[in-house]
């Protein structure tokens, strides 16, 4: 049987590159696209030698021209860290809007299945906790995070429209906070920031009082969930993430312990519109995909710290 062919946008990113690895391991051929706005060549260098991987440097806000058969379009291109999208609000809005339109157009042309990498940010600063897929969210559309939240909300809307109008077999995965090897050390997200600071003998910067919560999923659990979702027919959004919830202060203390750092914690102002709580309700993913995250935060942090020690 000929190998299935998947196009992955954002293939040089943290999650995009791990997804390419998974697909190749599972016998797919992968065509990766990235414009390196936040992705890194380092993340895919090992794949460039593979006969099952080809790469195009391309900005997905422009028309995507791929020759030959395509079975799957997986749209993972977008800045995803608050610092990145605050620095690049317009490319972020364009990746979610024009980029999703182009990626859907490619799926339609090739009669391919389509997956959108969406986000827990569609729930904004949630008033329902934990967040089930049925929750419509609490988003400040004109706030500083609006560029990301609204681009992904638009991306979900156009994906559902292509499913309803053009009958494309679509998936929408709402990804909650994820971490692990290849996350950019300077991307501003809390886990790389804390590990970098601890290893560099700097105090850990906790924003606000650190009482806000997040639930962190190790990349390998998430990628396994995404792979299962590709092969399961559900066209409405599905949450994937780890429901173990921690305050940011608890996370800081854990990173200090695991790095044996003597350094302290300093408190900085809470960024605008920073969600106070976040935890996925993964009842649906458990039931439909027979999936649940296996890696505990402590274990995943140890792996990530070891990786940072080698790569920073
Ligand atoms: N945060 C922090 N110190 C940092 C970076 C982030 O206290 O150096 C906090 C941030 O205010 C937020 C949480 O950690 O409450 C998670 O932030 P992140 O940027 O990882 O992603 P978010 O979940 O907000 O999209």
What global pTM score does this model have? Answer: 0.98
Q: What is the mean pLDDT of the chain?
A: 97
CB-ligand 1 contact for 217 (6 Å cutoff): no
Task: Please tell me the distance between residue 48's alpha carbon and the centre of ligand 1 in angstroms.
Answer: 33
Reported as a single tens digit per residue, the pLDDT across 116-143 is 999 999 999 999 999 999 999 999 999 9
| 45 vs 261, higher pLDDT | 45
Q: Measured between alpha carbons, how far is residue 118 from residues 203, 247, 297 in Å?
A: 33, 23, 22
Share of the chain above pLDDT 70, in %: 100
Residue 279 has pLDDT above 80, yes or no: yes
Task: Please tell me the distance between residue 189's alpha carbon and the centre of ligand 1 in angstroms.
Answer: 6
**Contact at 8 Å (CB) between 249 and 194?**
no
**Closest CA to ligand 1's atom 14:** 190
pLDDT for 312: 81
CB-ligand 1 contact for 255 (6 Å cutoff): no
pLDDT for 107: 98
Question: Which atom of ligand 1 is closest in space to residue 191's alpha carbon?
Answer: 20
**Contact at 8 Å (CB) between 133 and 236?**
yes
**Closest CA to ligand 1's atom 19:** 189
Q: Quick one: 65 exposed, middle or buried, by C-beta within 10 A (0-12, 13-18, 19+)?
A: exposed
Confidence band of 242 (pLDDT split at 50, 70, 90)? very high
Which residues have a Cβ under 8 Å from the Cβ of 73 and sit 6 or more positions away? 6, 7, 9, 103, 104, 106, 107, 110, 112, 113, 114, 115
Q: What sign has the CA pseudo-torsion 198, 44, 35, 28?
A: negative
Residue 249 has pLDDT above 80, yes or no: yes
**Residue carrying structure tokens 């429901």:** 243
- Name the nearest CA neighbour of 312 among 259, 251, 257: 259
- Name the nearest CA neighbour of 60 among 43, 46, 45, 79: 79
Reported as a single tens digit per residue, the pLDDT across 57-78 is 999 999 999 999 999 999 999 9
Q: Measured between alpha carbons, how far is residue 192 from residues 61, 184, 229, 255 in Å?
A: 28, 7, 27, 10
Q: Domains, the chain, ranges and CATH?
A: 5-179+218-242+280-294 (3.40.50.720), 190-212+245-278+299-311 (3.90.25.10)
Number of C-alpha atoms within 13 angstroms, CB side, residue 233? 4
Residue 263 has pLDDT above 80, yes or no: no
**Contact at 8 Å (CB) between 70 and 110?**
yes
Task: Please tell me the distance between residue 82's alpha carbon and the centre of ligand 1 in angstroms.
Answer: 8
**Closest CA to ligand 1's atom 4:** 190
Pairing of strands 213-215, 245-247: antiparallel
């Amino acid at each position: 049987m000929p190998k299935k062919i998947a196009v992955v946008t954002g293939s040089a990113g943290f999650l995009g590159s791990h997804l390419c690895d998974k697909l190749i391991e599972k016998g797919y051929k992968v065509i990766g696209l990235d414009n390196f706005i936040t992705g890194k060549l380092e993340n895919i260098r090992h794949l460039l030698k593979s006969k099952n991987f080809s790469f195009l440097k391309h900005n997905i806000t422009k028309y995507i021209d791929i020759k030959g058969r395509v079975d799957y379009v997986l749209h993972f291109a977008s800045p995803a860290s608050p610092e990145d999208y605050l620095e690049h609000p317009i490319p972020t809005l364009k990746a979610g809007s024009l980029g999703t339109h182009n990626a859907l157009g490619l799926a339609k042309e090739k009669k391919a299945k389509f997956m959108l990498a969406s986000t827990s940010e569609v729930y904004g600063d949630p008033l329902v906790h934990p967040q089930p897929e049925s929750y419509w969210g609490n988003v400040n559309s004109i706030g500083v995070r609006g560029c990301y939240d609204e681009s992904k909300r638009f991306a979900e809307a156009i994906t559902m429209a292509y499913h309803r109008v053009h009958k494309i077999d679509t998936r929408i995965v709402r990804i909650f906070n994820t971490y692990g090897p290849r996350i950019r050390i300077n991307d501003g997200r809390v886990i790389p920031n804390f590990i970098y600071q601890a290893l560099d003998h700097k105090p850990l910067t906790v924003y606000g009082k650190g009482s806000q919560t997040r639930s962190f999923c190790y990349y390998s659990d998430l990628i396994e969930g995404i792979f299962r979702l590709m092969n399961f027919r559900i066209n409405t959004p599905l949450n994937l993430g780890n429901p173990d919830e921690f305050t940011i202060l608890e996370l800081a203390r854990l990173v200090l312990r695991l790095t044996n750092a003597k350094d302290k914690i300093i408190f900085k102002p809470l960024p605008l519109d920073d969600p106070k709580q976040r935890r996925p309700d993964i009842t649906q993913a458990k039931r439909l995909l027979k999936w649940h995250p296996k890696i505990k935060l402590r274990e995943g942090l140890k792996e990530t710290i070891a990786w940072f020690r080698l790569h920073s």
